[in-house]
Chain A
């Protein structure tokens, strides 16, 4: 029952309290599928191995990878509230730097490789795909390290 309140409550906080509007942003929806894989894995182990035991009367009974579907809603609310708070703090000027990726040799290497860009799909594929999600042109807005 609480789960029914949790997800809309987290969305309301994201939209109207902290005003981060992550649910309307591609970067959130690009992150969530990655997180949900690990969430299904860890919750699957926790419930499948009976580390956490749910009362059958308290859940609707639909299970995904052993874990009750309520678990997914619980996780969604927690992740949205977490990321919304993190972004809100950044906008309020709390430790905006060092930015994500700053000083990463891997990222600058990938950026340089893509700059060359001659038939190297396996290296550039991920980035192009993510840019596609964002709706911008490939490489648009990519920050390069000096």
Chain B
């Protein structure tokens, strides 16, 4: 189970922000095309940044606490998921605040 430590953290993030979709009706997952188009450039930029940092030895990942699935450049699957989960949670939170304020895209 220790191999799923990183994934559990990501799952926790999704649970903490995910309830906003059904309860607050932030309609982020319902606008999935817009969400995917948002995630793509962000994930690309930060995966590149991450690869650079891994190559430079700025940070490493505990093989015991990650899935062990590695992409070229030593990039763990867990880390790629991080770059998808965190932006999703950010958009969920942002849209919840906008719903509370009654603000739309042009405001």
Contacts and interface: CB of A to CB of B under 8 A. Distances in A.
A49 B89 CA distance: 22
Interface residues on B, range: 35 or more
Contacts of A97: 27, 31
A58 interface: yes
Interface in B54-101: 56-62, 65-66, 83, 86-87, 89-91, 93-101
B5 A58 contact: no
B86 A58 contact: no
Contact of A90 (B34, B60, B87, B100): B34
Contacts, number: 173
A127 B59 contact: no
A35 B100 CA distance: 16
B30 A87 contact: no
B9 A79 contact: no
Contacts of A96: 104-105
Interface residues of A, number: 56
A89 B34 contact: yes
A19 to B, nearest CB: 12
Interface in A53-108: 53-55, 58-59, 74-75, 78-79, 81-83, 85-87, 89-91, 94-104, 106-107
20 contacts: A6-B49, A27-B98, A28-B94, A51-B65, A52-B60, A54-B58, A55-B58, A58-B59, A74-B49, A81-B42, A86-B94, A89-B34, A89-B38, A97-B31, A100-B26, A104-B99, A106-B24, A107-B24, A126-B100, A127-B100
Interface of B: 5-6, 9-10, 12-13, 16-17, 23-28, 30-31, 33-35, 37-39, 41-42, 45-46, 49, 52-53, 56-62, 65-66, 83, 86-87, 89-91, 93-107
